[in-house]
Amino acid sequence: MSPVPRNLAPRKIRTALVKNSMTQVGIARRLTVSPSMVQKVIDGLAVSHRVRRAVSEATGIPLARLWPSSYAVPGGRRGPGRPRSSRMPPCPVTPPSDRGGAS
């Protein structure tokens, strides 16, 4: 099995944003998410395909080059941290148990 490729360093992503006259706050405002969410995605502490796509568009760097461990997996298989399909069934909800209270 081949080693998992390393993601682009966060400082290089931030440098690319500055070169393209974009800020993390600007991306956050456009997506209506918190600036800290954008920071966490860039730092690799959170995964959001929507934020990753916006960073990719803002920097002009393809997703597979920014986060190859998630998007450039050999053989087309899903890699660790790749967002799940929106077609996933919802988690089953277990009804609360009867605690013997008055009805």
Q: What is the pLDDT of residues 19-63, one digit of tens each?
A: 999 999 999 999 999 999 999 999 999 999 999 999 999 999 999
78 pLDDT more than 60 = no
CATH number (1.10.1060, 1.10.357, 1.10.260, 3.40.50) of 10-70 reads 1.10.260
From 42, 63, 40, select the one nearest 53 (Cα to Cα). 63
Stretch 68-74: mean pLDDT: 76
**What phi and psi values does residue 84 have, to the nearest 5 degrees?**
-75, 160
pTM higher than 0.85: no
Residue 96 is encoded by which pair of tokens? 């609360």
Distance of CA 88 to the CA centre of its chain: 17
Dihedral angle computed from the Cα positions of residues 24, 29, 33 and 25, in that order, rounded to the nearest 10 degrees: 20
Residue 94 is encoded by which pair of tokens? 């277990």
Biggest CA-to-CA distance, the chain: 65
